[in-house]
Structure 1
Amino acid sequence: MNFLELQVTLSFCTIFLLRMLGMFMILPVLSKYGMFLEGGNNFLIGLAIGIYGVSQVIFQIPFGILSDTFSRKKIIILGLLIFFIGNIISANIHSIWGLIIGRFLQGAGAISGVCMAFLSDLIREENRVKSIAFIGMSFAFSFLIAVITGPLIVQYFGFFSLFWVSAIFSLLCIIIVFFSLPCSENFIVKKNRSTLDYKVLKFIFNKVFIRSYIGIFFLHFLLMMNFMVIPNKLELSGFCLNNHWKLYLITILISFLSLFFFIAYCKLKYVLEHIIEICIIFLFFSGLVFIESKNNLLLMIIALQIFFIGFNFLEVFLPSHLNKQKLYNYKGSIMSIYSTSQFLGISFGGIFSGWLCSFLSVIEIFLFEIFMIAIWLMFSIFCKKNIFSLKK
């Protein structure tokens, strides 16, 4: 990488890290502390988790289209300002509905797809996978920091302090975007390129892209479902909530190191070609171990470790697979649809799991997860076979 590419990569890594902390810090604590909010119940807690994804779904594609027409840098700053307002509202309205409104506005700053498109503008193709891999690691690192600091911040400063911290982080992101990212006219796509007609829609929804859209949807759907049930299951296994961060720290670090060594040293062509399906099988196996664990803490830890290895690998390889394709002049739209699928998974996973927890047992929820993973695996294999047949 040259100096500009390194600067851009590190800037986006920092932006994604700080911004995603605002979403992730709430996950380990909301299923417990949400019950203490005025009007709190399982369904509304799930809605508070998932509503972030709902607003991302609504605004992600419009932001992407705007970024194909105007300066990506200005659109990113606009999204971060909306995210800041959402944090302020979440911190000041002390009820479950206030939290839901604030989380909706947090998600309305839907800039993930725009950021990935801007990254593709600035990074040469031969360095793009490395850059995306670093950003994927920043996601994993933000999750690691969040699950450690979230419970600690709540313990010492209160639940709503999470949103004040997130508001400060959003301001830091605006400063980074303003001073660290270039705004050259060379990186602004002309207006006539963003016209959406039948041929364009057919291109951005072809089998190759749909495979990635569906994959990121299922991945985050499963993440949200797991965080509605795993904290309670760990407590039933005798693991105190205040110590959960230690377990998350170890499992995520191991998965992070596994990813690093895989990217650095794996040269097996067959494994690289089928890495997405291999990771889905990891998630399927983790669901089986979760079911067999019952209240066995050791099996729970093994299942969690397998899940995070599969999750972190897919966070890196799904977008890198997408960026290997020729995106032409529709990077903003394609990456925004990808991010929309991601947050659609977050919204459905949060809301649906909150609803399921009202009447299903933990084992039944894990059985449902395994069923969803099986559908995902079959769909991915089917799309891949069709892609290969088209190439031939």
Structure 2
Amino acid sequence: MTPSPARMSARELRASLSLASIFGLRLFGMFIILPVFALYAERLPGWNLTLVGVALGSYGLAQAALQAPFGWASDRLGRKPVLLAGLVVFAAGSLVCALAQSPWMVILGRTVQGAGAISGVAIAMAADLTRPSQRTKSMAIIGATIGLSFALSFVAAPFLQHAIDVPGIFAMTAVLAVAAMAIVAWVVPTPAARRTDEPRVSFAAVLRDPELLRLNVGIFGLHAILMALFVVVPLALVRAGLPAGSHWGMYLGAVGAGFLIMLPFVAIRILARHERAIFLGAVGVLAAGLCVLAAAADRLWPLAAGLVIFFAAFNVLEAKLPALVSKAAPPSAKGAASGVYSSVQFLGTFVGGAAGGAIAQHFGPVAVLACCIAIAAAWLAIAWPMGEPAAHEPEPQEPHEPHEPQATNP
């Protein structure tokens, strides 16, 4: 029986939840370092803010370089084998960080972590396993899980730092990667073989597509801002009189409130009719939150208000952007579009971390926030001409459970 186009089938729900859990486990390990790493490095010899920024951002540089090759490989070898290989690499990098005795070994380990560049593959797999009418829901589930992982990681980080310190957190991240491998192997459905009669779209055409370009600029800016922000925010909280061991309360309130504000914008069906307005509004709110943080001047409650505003917008955008990319991408180029999107996302992570650290060291934290505000304002101007999102492809019937796909020749 054909499932209702208004509802996810059991297979689509299983695919969405299992892929979301893979994102969640992997990104929990990445996010959990952000609020504690600068404070950890501050007490070790050989570290400065520039090296902290490079260590935080090197993960993103490797991701940016390798998303497209991983996507290309998944088109030929199948999504699951490439997902598993990427998680093995990510786990190995986590262990290098856990055992590192110098800043450069941590940077090497973070780079190896980033070499497991599977985000684009996972997004393409979600598109393979869902009908167009359900794809926005699937991407929203993934995006919401990313936001939840973000919130949980910021709450858990101070406790875990106290219990097992940062090397222990890196070792725990390797264990989470192994758990994600088990989900890939035994829970995620296997996608059906891709059709060969769809019109081909060149990689250059994907890069030139104006809607995809706007979204790619957006994800670059969003993650550059995030990484730059957390070079300076933990230190600002300490200067405002909040001990590092008490940061969890600030993160619990700010990220949790932002997550609750995000939920209606991804779960209430009627709001989908106003997707452009919600998207542009969230970018504007993001800029407003950064302005509040810049004006806080190391005062605790203004910092708290700025973080709540920032995370409310961040969580909406983090949930919306993958769904919008899936809608805007041509059917035969979803893997390429997802790979480009993920590449620029992690390029933004690297640029934000490295540039944020250097700017903070030489010009101070207010200069970092000023640059973040400029990025958000430029993003709003670029995104403003976007139209109301519409899917490229017709609504097919849900595929039957396929056999394991065979590798195809390039």
What's the TM-score bracket when you normalise by the shorter of the two chains?
A: over 0.9
- Partner Cα separation in structure 2 for residue 194 and residue 161 of structure 1: 49
- Give matches, 1:113-192, under 5 Å: 113-183=120-190, 186-188=192-194
1:312 corresponds to 2:292: no
Counterpart residue type for residue 362 of structure 2: F
2:42 aligned to which of 35, 41, 47: 35
Contact 1:38 1:94 in 2 (8 A): no
- Partner Cα separation in structure 2 for residue 158 and residue 246 of structure 1: 19
Structure 1 residue 152 displacement after superposition:
1.4
| Structure ranking higher in helix proportion | 1
2:264 aligned to which of 261, 264, 280: 261
- Partner Cα separation in structure 2 for residue 317 and residue 158 of structure 1: 34
2:337 aligned to which of 323, 328, 334: 334
1:61 corresponds to 2:61: no
- Partner Cα separation in structure 2 for residue 264 and residue 56 of structure 1: 30
Counterpart residue type for residue 307 of structure 1: F
Calculate the TM-score normalised by the size of structure 1.
0.92
For structure 1, the 5+ residue unaligned runs are: none
Contact 1:56 1:110 in 2 (8 A): yes
Structure 1 residue 207 displacement after superposition:
0.3
Describe the shift of the 1:112–1:28 C-alpha distance in structure 2 as closer, same or farther (beyond 3 A): same
- Partner Cα separation in structure 2 for residue 25 and residue 256 of structure 1: 17
Contact 1:70 1:188 in 2 (8 A): no
- Partner Cα separation in structure 2 for residue 44 and residue 146 of structure 1: 22
Describe the shift of the 1:158–1:135 C-alpha distance in structure 2 as closer, same or farther (beyond 3 A): same
Structure 1 residue 350 displacement after superposition:
0.4
1:347-390 deviation per Cα after TM superposition (whole angstroms, max 9, x unaligned): 000000111111112222222221221111111124x27999xx
Counterpart residue type for residue 383 of structure 2: S
- Partner Cα separation in structure 1 for residue 350 and residue 187 of structure 2: 32
Counterpart residue type for residue 145 of structure 2: S
Counterpart residue type for residue 206 of structure 1: D
Counterpart residue type for residue 276 of structure 1: F
**Considering only aligned residues, what root-mean-square deviation do their CA atoms show, in Å?**
2.2
Describe the shift of the 1:265–1:357 C-alpha distance in structure 2 as closer, same or farther (beyond 3 A): same
1:358 corresponds to 2:361: yes
1:202 corresponds to 2:205: yes
1:333-356 deviation per Cα after TM superposition (whole angstroms, max 9, x unaligned): 110110111101100000001111
- Partner Cα separation in structure 2 for residue 189 and residue 260 of structure 1: 35
Give identity over the alignment, percent: 32
Structure 1 residue 36 displacement after superposition:
3.5
Structure 1 residue 134 displacement after superposition:
1.1
Describe the shift of the 1:207–1:297 C-alpha distance in structure 2 as closer, same or farther (beyond 3 A): same
Counterpart residue type for residue 11 of structure 1: S
Describe the shift of the 1:20–1:334 C-alpha distance in structure 2 as closer, same or farther (beyond 3 A): same
- Partner Cα separation in structure 1 for residue 200 and residue 38 of structure 2: 43
2:371 aligned to which of 368, 373, 388: 368
1:83 corresponds to 2:90: yes
1:11-45 deviation per Cα after TM superposition (whole angstroms, max 9, x unaligned): 11111111011211111111111133452111111
2:29 aligned to which of 22, 40, 45: 22
1:240 corresponds to 2:243: yes
Contact 2:147 2:319 in 1 (8 A): no
- Partner Cα separation in structure 2 for residue 26 and residue 381 of structure 1: 34
Alignment partner, residue 325 of structure 2: 322
Describe the shift of the 1:300–1:188 C-alpha distance in structure 2 as closer, same or farther (beyond 3 A): same
1:266-324 deviation per Cα after TM superposition (whole angstroms, max 9, x unaligned): 73577422222111110111122112221322211111111001100000111111112
Counterpart residue type for residue 219 of structure 1: L
Alignment partner, residue 351 of structure 2: 348
1:51-82 deviation per Cα after TM superposition (whole angstroms, max 9, x unaligned): 00000011101111111222011110010011
Describe the shift of the 1:363–1:180 C-alpha distance in structure 2 as closer, same or farther (beyond 3 A): same
Describe the shift of the 1:33–1:326 C-alpha distance in structure 2 as closer, same or farther (beyond 3 A): closer
Alignment partner, residue 274 of structure 1: 277
Instruction: Tell me whether 29-38 or 236-245 shows the greater mean CA deviation.
Output: 29-38
Counterpart residue type for residue 31 of structure 1: A
Instruction: Tell me whether 347-356 or 358-367 shows the greater mean CA deviation.
Output: 358-367
Find the residue that maps to 1:73 and give its secondary structure.
helix
Describe the shift of the 1:189–1:346 C-alpha distance in structure 2 as closer, same or farther (beyond 3 A): farther
Calculate the TM-score normalised by the size of structure 2.
0.88
1:47 aligned to which of 48, 54, 79: 54
Instruction: Tell me whether 305-314 or 262-271 shows the greater mean CA deviation.
Output: 262-271
Alignment partner, residue 3 of structure 2: none
1:125-154 deviation per Cα after TM superposition (whole angstroms, max 9, x unaligned): 111111111111111111112112222122
Instruction: Tell me whether 268-277 or 28-37 shows the greater mean CA deviation.
Output: 268-277
Counterpart residue type for residue 161 of structure 2: V
- Partner Cα separation in structure 2 for residue 24 and residue 333 of structure 1: 26
Find the residue that maps to 2:362 and give its secondary structure.
coil
For structure 2, the 5+ residue unaligned runs are: 1-7, 391-410
